[in-house]
Structure 1
Amino acid sequence: MSRVHDVEGARATHGAELVDRIIAAADVVDDDADRLVAAFRAMPGGRGWQLLDAALAGQDVAGAPPELEAVVRPALDPPSWVDLDLVDAGAVARWRISSATQAIALTCGSLAFGYRSAALSRPLAATGRLTQMAPRRLGETARWVVAATQPGALRPGAEGLRLTVRLRLVHALVRTHLLAKPDWDREAWGPPISVADTIATGLGGFLLVPKRALEDLGVRYTPAELEAQFHLWRWITHLLGAPEEHLPASLEDAQAWIGCALDLDGEPHEQSPELMRALLHHGFAFTRFLPGPVGVLSRHVSAQVLGGFTRRWMGEAMADRLGVPDTPLKHAAPLLRPATIAREVLLATGALGDAHRIAEREIALVSRMMDLTRAPAQLEPERVQDEPVLRAA
């Protein structure tokens, strides 16, 4: 596959075993999800998705295709390594952080992370969902992250679990769509949204990258909080279709995996600068409601502010390649640290309440903000084929 580069150099740096694990995972897809969406397509419109929701709610689904059990059973009866109390502790650790600080880390860390990788950005470029529908897709992502990372959200029957399994099927539908396109070069690029890509997104994009960004802003996690957050995102990544045998076993293993995967990835995708531009101009949701010249100016300011943080966390060389604005705001992070550190001190003294209450308040605040900015609900699988940019050929 041409999606991997300088394999011998990566082996010398990271070891042959890790390199071979990643290359193998890059050629593996979520077969269970692919078989399930194929089975749903053979059923009357909407019937498959109704069965999925009923099964995830623990209801009887007599007459459901056998492919449904392979997807639903592990979600409702988690593997022995999953500790749901530890998953909830990870959610609390995540949400004790200021939602404003999290938003910066999510936009300029998590979402920007994928655009340095050709493998991760190629499906986005191929579907056009970010460049043509950037505000909508960013809102969908934010809604899912909030829903999936709340305490209790990933237990059997919970809404976060349902939405995460549905997102897994959205990925399967997109993969099916792209593999059917004559211009998808599977031999060179491997399959879209492979197991390696799912791991890179879940454990890299949503855990390790924002962790580094938040620590740069002054957040300090205890070892127990880091372990809990790793467990949270390892479970989410598994729910998104990454088999246990491919998942990194520890936070240190995940860090090594992501570092090696980025070295193997090589050049960004040719449309990555366009994807980055869409992210920076639409990262602040409220700008799309501002009319005329005010809206244009606000989006320009948004790109400068978000670009400053993105450049700091991405690095100068990669930021230049992706067209991230070079602005003095890249030095803003140290200016925010005193406020973050002061909040950390107040948290430690209990002056702001216990961590669970703080998490509840932050989740409520973010939910209100998403409602005010009309952030769309997650793209549901049954709507995928109606999307103009995802319509099957």
Structure 2
Amino acid sequence: MDYCTELAKRGCAAKTAARSLATLSTAVKNNALMNMAAALEAGSASILKANGDDIAVGRQRGLSPALLDRLMLNEARIAAMAEGLRQIAALPDPIGEGLGLQRRPNGLEIAKVRVPLGVIGIIYEARPNVTVDAAGLCLKAGNAVILRGGSEAINSNREIIHHIAQAAYSAGIPEGAFQFIETTDRQAVNALLKLNQYLDVIIPRGGAGLIKTVVENSSVPVIETGTGVCHTFIDESADIDLAQAIAFNAKVSRPAVCNSMETLLVHQAIADKFLPGMLEQYSKAGVELRGCPAVMKYNPAVKAAADQDWATEYSDLILSVKVVGDLQAAIDHIDQYSTRHSEAIITRDYDNARRFQQAVDAAAVYVNASTRFTDGFEFGFGAEIGISTQKIHARGPMGLPELTSVKYIVNGSGQIR
């Protein structure tokens, strides 16, 4: 199949739709989002049937329980997706927001306002909820979107986009605003990465391999998201019970997501008190433990960690554990292996907390809380498109403002230069 020609048609349709989307009223967009939410709920039976097909194929392919959990939908998760759309509708519309106004000495008035990015390509893996979040956020921010989900969720995504796109179009959204690439052929991704004529930006959401492929092969600007080698450091002054509760949650609550902890660092002065009970909790929860020699002596279930473990995003019930000499050693380890996503310190020492937050370079740096909170909904932004780990205009949870650009509106009265 000639994917270049096919995607060019989709890109052209999206570009045309984006021009109309940019000027739509907030009321029209919000009404469409509410229609989309209702359509999801009304179509739950067919969506769950399609998801069941994906789950069955996933089991045949040997997907891990954690990845199957990411893929699985149920009534509660569909309801949560619908609620996410309603929350997006309730958020302020960023388009047209004034970001500054100045009058120059020559009388020119220069205003800075938010405008849509245009056409956004999103390449993602496994989680069907991304289809809904991406479509809703892009719509509210006035963008058309081209979606390419992973092969694991092809049936679920196809059914979801059918319901929400038709609901949006019936509410006044221009045809073509939602484009879904149904093929699982990777050649389609390669063609999408070269669609400069129509795409304004590409956002990959998934594992390190996907992001690396997109960054290295795309000629369209890329916003990187997702890769999370997240750390939690247990300082010597930490409250043991609080530290164990946070460290357990950060790994076990949902290990396949990007904000789950992959490496636990423990100050040597608290290791004897903290690690025996903590490692036992992990073992009972089915966590595979990989540790440094100092950790291995506390529990026979701990395997020796290899060098690559410290840099690995497992996305599973696997955890690397290391004893470090002091706060600076923890900061140095994080600086070497972090993907700049989310990092945490558990401590009762105010100075150490402040030093950690100042020294650690990441999108989110926590004191006495789980890294699992790095999420657009938890931060009060509504749904998100992903967690940006870059230092461009978008960093951290990417909500509506991060899906916009700016325009300067200049008003004069005959000035010439």
Alignment TM-score, normalising by the size of structure 2: 0.35
Higher strand share: 2
Structure of higher CA gyration radius? 2
